[in-house]
């Protein structure tokens, strides 16, 4: 009994992961409205029964994706912030490099940018989705705001705006530039260059 329970749990987790991965691709490519449960199951290689044993609806799966995206992105940002702080802010490179090193976690991957955009669209339409999206933004903002404060303090720099506003400007600029790069079909190298240029402009406005 004790041996079979962990195996069953692992199988269930694997099924959920594959369904969520398939849904993330489809939501990014064609949107949640156009993505049917049947198509998601077909891409993941499961039946409708497997889907409904894990999710009550397509909307519930979408909310689970929002939560997973938040957890993964925030964990990556916090890991990079911690790495930078452990190396010693005074000993690292330019301010821009520090900020870009953290924010590059979600910059030039096409499906990530598309999925994030789909999450925002759904958040505008649905209070339930809005709650999940705003929770992601709050968690990201906390980590990036701490980095902004740490950099300013370590280098004896002043912020022209409150740290929270500086974070909002950086994240908004990052999202806008990433989406514009996708719309104009820029390649990954040009996208990173565009993101770097926009960040440099924003950093120069924020710090003095």
CATH number of the CATH domain containing 44: 1.10.10.60
Of the three residues 15, 33, 55, the one that is the final residue of a domain is 55
Range in 9-23, 56-70, 83-97, 168-182 with the lowest mean pLDDT: 83-97
165 has a pLDDT exceeding 50: yes
In a shared domain, residues 76 and 169: yes
Of the three residues 55, 79, 101, the one that is the final residue of a domain is 55
In a shared domain, residues 195 and 111: yes
Of the three residues 37, 55, 73, the one that is the final residue of a domain is 55
Are the beta carbons of 63 and 129 closer than 8 angstroms?
yes
State the pTM of this model. Answer: 0.70
CA Rg value for the chain: 20
90 has a pLDDT exceeding 60: no
- In this prediction, residues 44-52 reach a mean pLDDT of 94
In a shared domain, residues 96 and 20: no
Range of the domain at 16: 1-55
Q: What is the CB neighbour count within 10 angstroms for residue 153?
A: 11
147 has a pLDDT exceeding 80: no
Name the 3-class secondary structure at 199.
helix
What's the pLDDT at 88? 66
Range in 31-45, 98-112, 137-151 with the lowest mean pLDDT: 98-112
Digit-coded pLDDT (tens) for 95-137: 666 666 666 655 557 787 888 888 888 889 888 788 878 887 8
In a shared domain, residues 90 and 116: yes
Give the CATH number for residue 173. 1.10.357
What's the pLDDT at 108? 52
Measure the CA–CA gap between 80 and 83, rounded to whole angstroms: 5
């Amino acid at each position: 009994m004790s041996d079979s329970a962990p195996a069953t749990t692992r199988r269930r987790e694997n099924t959920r992961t594959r369904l969520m991965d398939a849904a993330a691709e489809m939501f990014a490519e064609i949107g949640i409205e156009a993505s049917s449960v049947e198509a998601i199951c077909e891409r993941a290689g499961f039946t409708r029964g497997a889907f409904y044993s894990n999710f009550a609806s397509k909307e519930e799966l979408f909310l689970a994706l929002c939560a997973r995206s938040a957890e993964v992105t925030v964990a990556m940002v916090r890991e990079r912030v911690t790495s930078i702080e452990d190396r010693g802010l005074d000993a690292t490179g330019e301010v821009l490099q520090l900020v870009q090193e953290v924010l590059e976690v979600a910059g030039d991957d096409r499906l990530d940018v598309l999925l994030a955009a789909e999450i925002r669209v759904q958040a505008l339409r649905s209070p339930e989705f809005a709650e999940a999206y705003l929770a992601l933004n709050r968690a990201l903002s906390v980590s990036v705001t701490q980095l902004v404060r740490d950099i300013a303090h370590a280098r004896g720099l002043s912020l022209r705006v409150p740290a929270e506003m500086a974070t909002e400007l950086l994240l908004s600029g990052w999202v806008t530039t990433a989406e514009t790069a996708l719309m104009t079909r820029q390649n990954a190298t040009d996208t990173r260059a565009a993101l770097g240029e926009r960040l440099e402009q924003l950093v120069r406005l924020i710090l003095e």
